[in-house]
Structure 1
Amino acid sequence: MADDTSVELRKLQIYSVFVRNHTKEGTLRALESDLPRIKELGTDFIWLLPINPVGHTGRKGTVGSPYAIQDYRKIDPAQGTWDDFVHLAEQIHRQGMKLMIDIVYNHTSRDSVLLKQHPEYFLHDSQGKLFNKNPEWSDVAELDYSNHDLWHYQIETLKQYAKIVDGFRCDVAPQVPLPFWLEARKEVSEVKSDLVWLAESTGGDYIREIRSKGYWISSDGEIYRAFDLAYDYDIDQDWHDYLAGKISLNEYVKTLNRQDIMYPANYVKMRNLENHDNPRAHELIKNENDLLNWTAFSEFQKGATLVYAGQEFGLSHTPSLFETDKLNWNTTIDLSKLIKQMHKLSQDTIQVEGTYQLKDAGNDIVMVDYSKNEKQRLGIFSLHSNSGIVKTSFQDGNYRNTIDGSLVMIKNGIIHVSGSPIVIENIAI
């Protein structure tokens, strides 16, 4: 991990916006009217999916993936102008939030400005044809960082954006060599020293696949040397296996506890139930009360939190990356109050610096225990909305559920769980 990364970044809530689909207009200016509502959720950073022009050659779908960028240094005309981008950044700052943009440095579109001007910056096979490490990404051309002239171009682009934004979410960060990221962070810090770096890190199966082809790809342990935050894809397959009933809660909990000791003490994971690359949480978790528990549990884990636009309303449709696919904001579910309250709890020192331990309490109920000095905070989440009993070391008495204000009674060291999420502290009322 970057040695100077502060554990205070565990307090962050990041709200991800796909500008094209977020509003009827699909523009940077139109997004501004939604900023107060986004701020009210407890949002610290707004992360914009790529806002650059999309390539045409090999385009997937009608409008193409925002990750097939034609020109790193321009704004997609369909979304607005450079002035619109600067104005949005100013409005985000006025709301007391910060702005993070997507940096896509593993590849460009197949008709990008960079490819036309510098074909030597790209991977080619023995016949001189463009070559991709991942053949499924047929709409992009992959960059070759063995050419150090490329480094200069990419870092200068980062400096240009660093004058305006407060953070970078770096796409496919592990496939870009770590020495580049270390140099980029060093040079960009001269423009903005407190810029936040988030890596889209990856899981073990993909790391094994890319390394088997003889290419660089960083593990999370390596990626933390250059980045402040990383995805929790290292345990993503375990999560999906638990949801699918392939492993028990006890096995999943062991994975989460092991994760907490694998990385440097100041590691910061970005916890998420959904993002633009994966199905909506409500698509995977059909039961609304289960979704409530999972939302609370996810935000109660050690680390920063990602909210993918629409998640707060339990949207189940995953927007297409390749077509215009507007969000349908009409829904009967509203998790906004829960998300706001869980974020409020995450600001407390005990959840930032405290000792962190998870336990399988039986019947698909998970306990998360934070402790610091004499203070203890306990979260109880019924992931399948089951009722049950949970044993605790808290003294008998009545406690206040800090999620919704309800009373929680402990008698004979036992809490009766009815299926709703609970967070209590070791101070009886």
Structure 2
Amino acid sequence: MRSILIYLFGFLILSGCQNNSKKVAQPAIKEATEKIFPDKLVDATIYEVNIRQYTPEGTFKAFEEHLPRLQKLGVKVLWLMPINPISEKNRKGELGSYYAPSDYTAVNPEFGTLDDFKHLLKKAHEMGFYLIIDWVPNHTGRDHKWIKEHPEYYIHDKNGDITYEAMSPTDIWWDTALLNHKNPATRKAMINAMRFWVDLGIDGFRLDHGCGDKIPLYLWEEARAALDPIRDLFWLAECGHETFILDGSYADEYESEMRQVASGEEPADVLSNWIDEDMFKYGRTHFRMTYTSNHDLNSWNGTVFERFGSKNKAFAALVFTAYGFPLILGGQEVGMDKRLEFFQKDTINWTDPKGMEPFYQSLVKLRKDNPALWAGDAGGFPISIENNENVIGFIREVEGNKVIGLFNFSDENQTIEITKRDAYGTYSDYFTGESYTLNDEGFELKPEQYLVFKE
């Protein structure tokens, strides 16, 4: 859809120039069918990479050795958590926060050299991955060179001192210096820094704390105007719908509701209701990133086993089938059962003691192979097919491809009535191969049972 609009816009511009007596060489117009971001990610899974914790070495080179495994897993987008050097002043813990950068146009020496990063980027592209980097626009670290060279780039307190970000009276980021994006010079400097990485060939940005009271949306309007013409880019915001000028955003509320359902505080219906409301209010073209874990949830709220218990697989299957653009946190695919330390070294265990990797590989493949499950308006509309508040049952269909999901998130047997005749039929469960028939008779789901049928 977006590619067609760009084609038409370019055609109108070029048509308006035809009467100009001075002939100017015109850029080639892309074919209307050529996909650009986000359209070329409709069937993709995004994968979050913590370079520091990924390997004992914690380097780009060491992570590169995992690319064949990730290719087999089937993920398409590699999101690297911040790779910039970390400020020393007011540093938290032994190694500091990735989100307190001291230089926007350099790499953390702990991870290797800029040439090492370039090699990783080149290898990832050769293997068919897209690679995006985490970008921290809200603040710098306390020893970024801008603090001395351009103090006007920052927000100052009543005493004239550069201030910091504070999420609450008890959650104060002393290691940060808060940027003032109302200043056009700040925005220009930020965009120039981003251009450095675009010129290297990255495929986009995950924008940390990318909107809110400190980040004006015109920053991203200006950034896209400056950077999109250089290279096709994917823009993912760590915030909600207000950033529809970008390509994707977090579905934080969805994960919060999942936790309520997992604990029994809310019935499963709240999840299907949330999906309905999300589409109703904001449409279907924007990519909503859904997940059961990410780096913040893992470190500060707990592992998927802490938050979802024995239902963690059921919720993961829901994320990959019901709605959105799914994320896997690095380590999640091998059953990572610990909260990774945020400010010091804490290597992921890749032995997969719970045997989870085949399960996540099957989820990625299920979604990729079935257009009904694709993101945005490329996928099928999720339509409820049952009437039990403790169960989520949906059908999604597009271009002859049909997927049905049934999820019992309660600890008891649940009987459901199939309310949509379109769902009637005999199917095999994607995960077990067992045969089931859906008709006008009652259908029984065991505690925590989840079934996915495809046709």
Measure, in 1, the Cα distance between the counterparts of 2:181 and 2:320. 36
Change (3 A) 1:258 1:360: farther
The equivalent position to 2:181 in structure 1, one of 136, 141, 145, is 145
Q: Which one of the candidate residues 326, 336, 350 is aligned to 2:372?
A: 350
Indicate the structure whose relative CO is greater, using CA pairs within 8 Å and at least 6 residues apart: 1
**CA positional deviation for 1:373:** 6.4
Change (3 A) 1:414 1:162: farther
1:98, distance to aligned residue in structure 2 (A): 1.1
SS in structure 1 opposite 2:202?
A: coil
Q: CA RMSD in A?
A: 2.3
Asked if the contact 1:6/1:266 (under 8 Å) is kept, the reply is: no
Q: Match of 1:206? A: none
Unaligned runs of 5+ in 1: 202-219
Using a 3 Å threshold, how does the CA distance of structure 1 residues 72 and 375 change in structure 2: closer, same or farther? closer
Look up the match of 1:199: 237
Partner SS state of residue 371, structure 1? strand
Aligned match for 1:46, one of 65, 78, 85:
78
Provide the residue aligned with 1:410 in structure 2.
438
Q: Find the aligned partners of 1:398 and 1:245 in 2 and give their Cα distance.
A: 31
Give 2:416's match in structure 1, choosing from 387, 390, 395: 390
Q: Provide the aligned length of Structure 1 versus Structure 2.
A: 404
Are the equivalent residues in 1 in contact too, given 2:386–2:416 (CA < 8 A)? no
Between 382-391 and 246-255, the greater mean CA deviation after superposition: 382-391
Instruction: Give the corresponding residue for 2:216.
Output: 177
Superposition deviation, residue 262 in structure 1: 1.5
Does the 8 Å CA contact 1:359/1:368 hold for their aligned counterparts? yes
Per-residue CA deviations over 1:137-181 (Å, capped at 9, x if unaligned) read: 121011001111112211111111113211210100013210011
- Aligned to 2:309, the other structure's residue is in SS state coil
Aligned to 2:18: none
Q: C-alpha distance in 2, partners of 1:325/1:125? A: 36
Partner of 1:335: 356
User: Are positions 1:81 and 2:106 aligned together?
Assistant: no
Q: Aligned to 1:324, which of 321, 326, 345?
A: 345
| Amino acid in structure 1 at the alignment position of 2:78 | I
| Alignment match of 2:225 (pick from 176, 186, 190) | 186
Compared with structure 1, are the counterparts of its residues 359 and 110 closer, same or farther at alpha carbon in structure 2 (3 Å cutoff)?
farther
- Secondary structure, aligned partner of 2:133: strand
The answer on whether the counterparts of 1:271 and 1:301 sit within 8 Å (CA) in structure 2 is: no
TM-score, normalization by structure 1: 0.87
Query: Structure 2 counterpart of 1:330, which letter?
Result: T
| 1:365 corresponds to | 391
CA contact 1:363–1:386 (8 Å) conserved in 2: no
Q: Which residue of 2 aligns with 1:277?
A: 296
Cα distance, 1:7 vs. partner?
Answer: 4.8
- 1:24 aligns to 2:56 (yes or no): yes
- Identity, in percent, stands at 28
State the 1:375 CA deviation: 5.3
Letter in 2 for 1:371: E
Alignment-derived partner of residue 210 in structure 1: none
**Structure 2 vs 1, CA of residues 314 and 365 (structure 1 numbering), >3 Å: closer, same or farther?**
farther
Match of 1:168 among 198, 205, 228: 205
Match of 2:225, SS state, is helix
Structure 2 residue runs without a partner (length 5+):
7-36
- Deviation larger for 395-404 or 91-100: 395-404
State how far apart, in whole Å, the 2-side matches of 1:154 and 1:127 are. 26
Partner of 2:452: 423
Structure 1 stretch displaced more, 158-167 or 267-276? 158-167
Inter-CA distance 360–143: structure 2 relative to 1 (3 Å threshold) = farther
* Counterpart in the other structure of 2:41: 9
Task: Please say if 1:221 is aligned against 2:241.
Answer: yes
Q: Is the 8 A contact 1:53 1:70 kept in 2?
A: yes
SS in 1 for 2:293: coil
- Give me the whole-angstrom Cα distance separating, in 2, the residues matched to 1:90 and 1:133: 35
- The answer on whether the counterparts of 1:313 and 1:335 sit within 8 Å (CA) in structure 2 is yes
Q: Return the match for 1:125 from 138, 144, 157.
A: 157
Q: Which string of whole-angstrom CA distances, capped at 9 and with x for unpartnered residues, describes residues 361-399 of structure 1?
A: 537331132133665421112224644333323576531
1:247-290 per-position Cα deviation (integer Å, ceiling 9, x unaligned): 22223332222112121330210111111111221221222xx1
Counterpart CA distance in 2 for 1:382 and 1:8 is 33
* Residue 278 of structure 2, aligned match among 250, 256, 259: 259
CA distance in 2, matches of 1:148, 1:23: 40
